[in-house]
Amino acid sequence: MVRCGCITLQSVGVTGVRTKSRTLQCGGMAGVRTKSRTLQCGGMAGVRTGRRTLQCGGMAGVRTGRITLQCGGMAGDRTKSRTLQCGGMAGVRTGRRTLQCGGMAGVRTKSRTLQCGGVWQGLELGGELFSVVVWQGGRTGRRTLQCGGMAGVRTKSRTLQCGGMAGVRTKSRTLQCGGMAGVRTGRRTLQCGGMAGVRTKSRTLQCGGMAGVRTKSRTLQCGGMAGVRTGRRTL
């Protein structure tokens, strides 16, 4: 491991150099972060331009506006709000939200387009499009996102589910994909690749079969190796 300034960079067989803020590397691939944060793991590097670029599972993505969540070998570009993709298919949401998974993309115009199971059927009921293949879901309060043979019920804000596993978001966001659900308590819990994690205060980024718990600042882990940061940053 090589320590530069305040950060200690550790990875499986590769060293990285942090230029200004943070360079996160692991899994045999190094990355260079320019201004904010570049999170890379699983043999693929990504460059984040504005805010955050979350990548895992061998595919990189570039987020332009706010957040681009990618997993399972497919990248997507979010334009204004959020584009949620998983299971090998990308989608572009124009107005508010376009939820896609299971090999089928959909474009929602004003409110919501719910698609799952590899085919799209639209049934417009009061400004909402419900797509049903083998499973039909009803939206109760605000949003119910269903895909991949599993239904979910969103309670207050957002419940994102895909790949055969449901999750319940409590206050902010719970992003799940790849057969494992997670519950975010404080801010964000990003999970992908079959392992869940619980973030306590700030951020816990996990991918590739290993979970980590961040205590005060940041603990970034991926590729079968966990790290615990004590003072500033431990990668």
- pLDDT single digits (tens) 25-34: 333 333 333 3
pLDDT of residue 58: 30
Write the pLDDT tens digit of every residue in 51-85: 334 333 333 333 333 333 333 333 333 333 333 33
DSSP secondary structure, the chain, as one string:
-EEETTEEE--SS------SS-----SS------SS--B--SS-----SSS--B--SS-----SSSEEE--SS------SSEEE--SS-----SSSEEE--SS-----SSSEEE-BTTB----BSSSEEE--SS------SS-----SS------SS-----SS------SS--B--SS-----SSSEEE--SS------SSEEE--SS------SSEEE--SS-----SSSEE-
> In which band, very low, low, confident or very high, does the pLDDT at 205 lie, cut at 50, 70 and 90?
very low
Mean pLDDT of 191-201: 34
> In which band, very low, low, confident or very high, does the pLDDT at 3 lie, cut at 50, 70 and 90?
very low
pLDDT of residue 55: 38
pLDDT of residue 184: 34
Write the pLDDT tens digit of every residue in 85-97: 333 333 333 333 4
Give the dihedral sign, CA 127/130/136/142: negative
Query: Which residues are paired to 97 by β-bridges?
Result: 82
Mean pLDDT of 29-57: 36
- Percent of the chain past pLDDT 90, that is, above it, reads 0
Asked if residues 18 and 30 have their Cβ atoms less than 8 Å apart, the reply is no
pTM over the 0.85 mark: no
pLDDT of residue 228: 33
> In which band, very low, low, confident or very high, does the pLDDT at 124 lie, cut at 50, 70 and 90?
very low
Mean pLDDT of 224-231: 33
Closest to 97 (Cα-Cα) out of 144, 54, 141: 144
Write the pLDDT tens digit of every residue in 104-118: 333 332 333 333 332
Average pLDDT, the chain: 34
pLDDT of residue 174: 38
pLDDT of residue 179: 31
pLDDT of residue 89: 32
pLDDT of residue 225: 31
pLDDT of residue 201: 35
